[in-house]
A and B are shown apart, each in its own frame.
Chain A
Amino acid sequence: MSDAVLPIDDSAISATPTPATETVYRHTRVVRVTHWINLICIAFLLFSGLQIFNAHPMLYWGQYGADADPPFVSLGAVYAPDHSLRGVTKIGPIKFTSTGLFGVSHNEIRGYPSWLTLPASRNLAAGRRWHFFMAWIFALNGLVYLISSAVNGHFRRDLVPTRAQIKPAHIWQNIIEHAQFKHPVGEEARTYNVLQKLAYLGVILLMVLMVLTGLTMSPGIDAFAPGLLWVFGGRQSARTIHWICANLIVLFVLVHVIEVFIAGVVNEIGSMITGRYTYPTGADH
Chain B
Amino acid sequence: MTDALLSRRGLIVAGTALGGLLLSGCDRLSQAPEALKLIDTAEGVTLRSQRLILSAQPLAKEFKTSDISPTFKANGSFTPTDPAYLAMHDKGFADWRLTVSGLVQRPLSLSLDQLKALPARTQITRHDCVEGWSAIGQWTGPQLGGLLHTAGLQPHARYVVFHCADNLGGPGDGGKYYESIDLFDAFHPQTILAHTMNNQPLAVPHGAPIRLRVERQLGYKQAKYVMAIEVTDRLNHIGSGYGGFWEDRGYEWYAGI
A residues lining the B interface (CB < 8 Å)? 44, 47-48, 52-53, 55-56, 58, 60, 63-69, 115, 118-121, 123-126, 128-130, 132-133, 135-136, 214-215, 217-224, 226, 229, 235-236, 239, 261, 265
Contact = CB atoms under 8 A, between A and B. Distances in A.
Interface in B216-257: 216-218, 246, 249-252, 255-257
Contact of A223 (B54, B135, B218): B54
Contacts of B257: 132, 214-215, 217-218, 220-221
Interface stretch (B61-69, B110-118, B163-171): B61-69
Interface in B1-33: 8, 11-12, 23, 26-27, 30-31
B27 A63 contact: no
A132 B252 CA distance: 11
B58 A223 contact: yes
Interface of B: 8, 11-12, 23, 26-27, 30-31, 36, 38-43, 45-46, 50, 53-54, 58-61, 63, 67, 69-73, 126, 128-136, 215-218, 246, 249-252, 255-257
B250 A125 contact: yes
A91 B58 CA distance: 37
A69 B26 CA distance: 36
Contact of B216 (A121, A126, A135, A220): A220
B251 A63 contact: no
Nearest to A115: B23
A124 B129 CA distance: 12
Contact residues of A: prevailing secondary structure: helix
Contacts of B50: 218, 220-221, 224
B70 A125 contact: no
A214 B211 CA distance: 28
A123 B39 CA distance: 15
Contacts of B43: 129, 132
Nearest to B51: A220
Contacts of A221: 50, 53, 257
17 contacts: A65-B134, A66-B129, A68-B73, A119-B31, A125-B246, A129-B42, A217-B257, A218-B256, A218-B257, A219-B126, A219-B216, A219-B217, A221-B257, A235-B128, A236-B134, A261-B8, A265-B11
A55 B54 contact: no
A193 B132 CA distance: 40
A265 B42 CA distance: 36
Given A44-B26, A64-B126, A118-B26, 10 more contacts: A56-B132, A63-B126, A68-B73, A124-B131, A125-B246, A128-B252, A133-B41, A220-B54, A224-B58, A239-B132
A132 B256 contact: yes
Task: Name which of A118, A125, A223 has the most chain B CB atoms within 10 A of its CB.
Answer: A223
B250 to A, nearest CB: 3
